[in-house]
Chains A and B, each alone.
Chain A
Amino acid sequence: MAAYILRRMVSTIAVMAMVGVFVFLLLRLAPGDPAAMIAGRLATAEMIAGIREKMGLNDPVPVQFIRWVRDMLGGDFGTSIFAGRPVLELISQRLEPTLSLSILTMILSVMVGVSFGILASWRTGGLVDRFLAAFSALGYSVPVFVIGYFLIYFFAIRPHWLPVQGYAPIDGGLGPWFVHLILPTVALGIGYIAFIARVTRASMLEVLSEDYMRTAAAKGASSYAILFHHALRNAGVPILTVIGISFAYLIGGVVLTETVFNIPGIGRLVVDAINNRDYPIIQSVLILTSGLYVLINLTVDLAYTLIDPRIRY
């Protein structure tokens, strides 16, 4: 197991290195000039040239790359071209809203999605199952921003029940923090609920048709015991896999949700950085995100051993 984890950690570094090279080159090849963006619409070429020189953007790309890698290995992820602050400081400021939204969404999605899938599999073709089919179609096909605006209109503008936008830091009290995250969590979570529920249903149906399920029922096991003690445990591996994948994909969905609900998280930071061509921020966030992806996958792989003792690494 330890050797396996070590191998995976080494591969994480390799993946991050490849992402680093790719992102760095892609940004330099893409059209756009951060100096021109800083200088503004009516800047003269002279102003722009002065800023480029100051920022070291006139250096050859390999020189810039080596400088970036050297600094990063020393723990310095650079300074934002626009904000003039360390990138890690900006990322850490934005981490809390994104993590809050992601974790709440996953909790909601797993709790509702798994329960929904189990209920649907228990009574195949029944009301819950048909409702799940309709809900899934809706969850998959309606983009998160449409759901977002729908929720804003019916729960924030009209009845003033919930705030339209913004984020309340957790150190300002759990109440405001939670209230600000209800709508974004629901908007972002609907698609994942549908996804997890469908996979849970399919996986449960497969297990429920096994002979040992009939044996359990013949022995007089209750429906609760059959569903939760016997079936769910055996159907767990694919469910856990999609939860892991969902969490990784969630980072992409967060960008749109943060934009619609004006949550100052990592997603907004990246979008603004791309618009401004703020290279250090884009590079750092993508490097850290790729590392996070790999770590999530590793965690899921390790979690398999807890569900299914037959799995060994």
Chain B
Amino acid sequence: MIITRREIIKAGLAAGTAMSIPSVLRAQTAPTAARTVRMVMGDLSVFDPVVTTASVTFNHCLAIYDTLFGADSKFMPQPQMVSKWNVSDDKKTYTFELRDGLGWHDGSPVTAADCVASIRRWGQVAPGGQLLMARARDISKKDDKTFTIALQEPLGILLDLLGFQGPFIMREKDANLSPTEQVTANIGSGPFKFNQALAKPGASFTYDRSDKYVPRNEPADGLAGGKVAKVDRVIWENIGNQQTALAALQAGEIDFVGTPPVDLFPVIESDPHLELQVLDKTGQDMFLRINCLQKPFDNVKARQALLHLVDQEAIMRAAFGDPKYFRSVTSMFGNETPASNDENTGWHKTGGDPGTARQLFKEAGYAGEKVVILDPTDWREADNASQILVAALQKIGINAELAPSDWGGLVARRANKGPVEDGGWSLFMSSEAEWIRGNVVTAVTLSMNGEKGWFGWPQNDEYETLRVKWADVETLEERKALARKMQRIWWDYVPEVLLGQYVTPIARRQTLTDLISMPELIPIWNMQKA
């Protein structure tokens, strides 16, 4: 048999057509590029908000789950899954009724039993949830659409707890899992469905608009109001290399980069198709955590010395460069939360005060003990700031040194309560969303309950008494008065030193608009693509 050249070409064309059929089919079923938004949001590796505090996980949960209440742009809790609620005259029993039309992405209806199980699971781990569970006498469903929370005593911030970092409502069978066992079903009742078939762990995750989701009628406002999905599909690409992410943004392959690198801001600003936008207007408060159990910082004078030594301007400039995106902060509650105040902040001086710091170390009886600063080299901003801090300490005669490691090494070492000679630590830097700092009940870093508390283990019983009281007060004025008293104790004791407040703009293509402005979190409803 003789095979002609023409036959070979025909066979080749047929084979090529066959190979391309799957993509043709996909093109028919997948949304168009104009209805698809591609975002670089970070590496989503844990799907369960009860297992982790990572903000990328919370963003994932905002997309696929719904919440009982949602914080609006003024941080006030507004009903979301709840249609109406009431509280008994003695303020000890809350009754919640779910709104109509709530359904899981697997087709089954959302019930009160799902809500009760979700609250109970969240209540075992989250600081706000633990407070609720400590005060709760009973949490139970009344019927399929109604459930109650009965308290032993009134809890003034109950709705705030449910609205800020409250539970994402999961199916009862998912919520019945242990809080240390990860829920990976990813079936929610929110505005977007998780597309399991297109999930590529470590590479990309796909969210499709849920046609059956019934949004509230109110306009979108923070995490409250109508969650209207205005695009058909959102794809989260995990581009680990920021330079590559920016190149993809410039080329139009993606629409959004959540945390563009600071040193590439000028490139973004000079591109007419791109825009930097600050969505998180309150940003993060960066702080220096102090090990209060070990020398020299087991002495309050040494901790106060740090407070006087730190030059926030210098540290922020080293960390973030452009002053447009940072400023100093002196209140433990941050610059812009309702509890922010100026009580006991006389220590703050532009440029720091090394003279006073040296004198305070002397009064603390400092005798050359080694000070180890944990330095996360894979967090560029903290790494830069650590270099400034160690130099400032060495300059006033402190035997300070950096202990470089990646963030994974840091989080393991910071759990060591022993002296530095036994692998312990003296100082490390971290940051926290300022809006979380507005509520001392949910902000784990703002506790002073000793070795049960967050790393550094400060202990002050008077402060803790006030912190418990925080949950009971009902008016903002009462809370502000309480905040001043707490701040006086906080800066006398010095469990941490604030390093500054910074905001990180997102980078997007001009065609992507109407993103919701919220601290730390990036909801994917409401946004539109031209």
Q: Which residues of A contact B (CB under 8 A)?
A: 30-33, 36-48, 50-51, 53-54, 80, 82-85, 90, 93-94, 149, 152-153, 156-157, 160, 163-167, 171-176, 259-262, 264, 268-269, 271-272, 275-277
Taking a contact as CB atoms under 8 Å apart, the answer to whether A165 and B239 are in contact is yes
A43 to B455, CA, bound (A): 10
Q: Closest residue of chain A to B423, judged by CB?
A: A31
Nearest chain B residue, comparing its CB with the CB of A82? B45
Please determine whether A174 and B52 come into contact, CB atoms closer than 8 angstroms. no
Residues of B near A160 (CB, < 8 A) are 251-252
* Alpha-carbon separation in the docked complex, A153 to B243 (Å): 11
In the complex with contacts A262-B239, A262-B240, A33-B253 CB distance below 8 A: no
> Could you pull out 24 A-B pairs where Cβ atoms are within 8 angstroms?
A31-B405, A31-B408, A33-B415, A37-B411, A38-B46, A38-B51, A40-B54, A41-B53, A41-B411, A42-B53, A42-B432, A45-B455, A46-B452, A47-B125, A51-B180, A93-B200, A153-B247, A164-B250, A173-B22, A173-B23, A261-B244, A264-B202, A264-B203, A277-B408
On whether the beta carbons of A152 and B406 are closer than 8 Å, the reply is no
* Chain A positions within 8 Å of B412 at CB level: 31-33, 36
A80 partner residues in chain B, CB cutoff 8 A: 201
Tell me the complex Cα distance, A160–B250, Å.
10
Task: Determine whether the beta carbon of A275 is less than 8 Å from that of B239.
Answer: no
Closest to B182 in A: A84
Residues of A within 8 A of B409 (CB): 30-32
B54 touches A83 (CB 8 A): no
Contact A174 B408 (CB under 8 A): no
- A104 CB to closest chain B CB (Å) equals 16
Closest to B413 in A: A31
| B54 contact set on A, CB distance < 8 A | 40-41
Closest A residue to B21 using CB positions: A173
A164, A260, A262: the one contacting B251 at CB < 8 Å is A164
Q: How many A-B residue pairs have CB under 8 A?
A: 159
Contacts of A277 in B (CB 8 A): 408
**Residue pair B251, A33 in contact (C-beta under 8 Å):** no
Contact with A along B394-421 (1 / 0, CB 8 A): 0000000000011111011101000000
Cβ of A45 and Cβ of B415 under 8 Å apart?
yes
Q: B26 an interface residue at 8 Å Cβ cutoff?
A: yes
Asked whether any CB of chain A lies closer than 8 Å to the CB of B363, the reply is no
B430 on the A face (CB < 8 A): yes
B254 to chain A, nearest CB (A): 9
Which of B26, B53, B202, B251 touches A40 (beta carbons < 8 Å)? B53
Residue contact A36 to B180, C-beta cutoff 8 Å: no
Q: A36-B412, A84-B184 are in contact. Are A262 and B248 (CB under 8 A)?
A: yes
Contact A54/B200 with A33-B411, A48-B415, A164-B253 known, Cβ cut-off 8 Å: no
Whether A152 lies near B244 (C-beta < 8 A) is yes
Q: Is the CB of A44 within 8 A of B241?
A: no
Contact at B16–A50, with CB atoms within 8 Å? Answer: no
Q: Which residue from chain B places its CB closest to the CB of A80 in the assembled complex?
A: B201
CB distance from B365 to the nearest CB of A (A): 30
| B160 interfacial contact with A, CB 8 Å | no
Q: Determine if B237 is an interface residue (Cβ-Cβ < 8 Å).
A: yes
Contact partners of B19 in chain A: CB under 8 A: 173-174
For B406, the chain A residues whose CB sits under 8 A away are 32, 275
Which of A83, A156, A167: most chain B CB closer than 10 A? Answer: A83
Whether the pair B202, A268 counts as a contact (CB closer than 8 A) is yes
Question: A164 touching B180 by the CB < 8 A rule?
Answer: no
Q: How far is the CB of A265 from chain B (nearest CB, A)?
A: 9
A3 to B244, CA, bound (A): 50
Cross-chain contact A164 with B244 (CB below 8 angstroms): yes
Within 8 A of A (CB), among B454-504: 454-455
User: Which A residues lie within 8 Å of B405 (CB)?
Assistant: 31
Contact B52 A83 (CB under 8 A): no
Known contacts: A44-B444, A264-B200, A277-B408. The answer to whether A174 contacts B20 by CB under 8 A is: yes
Are B45 and A83 in contact, with the CB atoms below 8 A?
A: yes
Contact partner, B247, options A93, A165, A176, A264, Cβ 8 Å: A165
Q: Which of B51, B253, B431 contacts A51 (CB 8 A)?
A: B51
Nearest residue in B to A262 (C-beta to C-beta)? B239
The 9 closest A-B CB pairs, nearest first, are: A264-B203, A40-B53, A31-B409, A82-B45, A32-B408, A36-B411, A33-B412, A54-B180, A173-B20
Q: Which residue of B lies closest to A43 (CB)?
A: B53
Query: How near does chain A come to B78, taking the closest CB pair, in angstroms?
Result: 25
**Other-chain residue from A30, A171, A269 in contact with B202 (beta carbon distance below 8 A):** A269
CB of A157 to closest CB in B, whole Å: 5
- B251 near A83 with CB under 8 A, answer no
B54 to chain A, nearest CB (A): 4
Nearest CB on A from B107, distance (A): 24
Asked whether B342 is an interface residue with its Cβ less than 8 Å from the other chain, the reply is no
Residues in B whose Cβ lies below 8 Å from that of A152: 244, 247
The answer to whether A39 touches B53, judged by C-beta atoms less than 8 angstroms apart, is yes
- Report chain B residues within 8 Å CB of A45: 415, 454-455
Chain A residues with CB below 8 A from B23, complex form: 172-173, 176
Complex alpha-carbon distance, A262 and B236, angstroms: 13
Interface string of B427-469 (1 = CB under 8 A from A): 0001110001000000011000000111100000000000000
Interface residues of B in 184-235 (CB under 8 A from A): 184, 200-204
Q: What residues on A are CB-neighbors of B408 within 8 Å?
A: 31-33, 36-37, 275-277
Q: A43 and B378 in contact (CB under 8 A), knowing A93-B201, A262-B241?
A: no
Instruction: Tell whether, in the assembled complex, residue B243 and residue A149 are in contact, meaning their CB atoms are under 8 Å apart.
Output: yes
A259 to B237, CA, bound (A): 13
User: Given the complex of chains A and B, what is the CA–CA distance between A40 and B43 in angstroms?
Assistant: 12
Which of A84, A260, A264, A271 has the most B CB atoms < 10 Å from its CB?
A84
Extra contacts besides A149-B247, A166-B237 (20): CB < 8 Å: A31-B405, A36-B411, A40-B52, A41-B53, A42-B430, A42-B444, A44-B444, A45-B455, A84-B47, A160-B251, A163-B251, A173-B22, A174-B20, A175-B20, A259-B241, A262-B240, A262-B244, A264-B203, A271-B240, A277-B408
Task: Decide: A272 and B240 in contact? CB cutoff 8 A.
Answer: yes
Which residues between 68 and 115 of chain B lie within 8 Å of chain A, taking CB atoms? none
Q: Which of chain B's residues has its CB closest to A51's CB? A: B180
Residues in B whose Cβ lies below 8 Å from that of A53: 180
Closest to B16 in A: A174
Across the interface, which residues of A come within 8 angstroms of B239, CB to CB? Answer: 165, 262
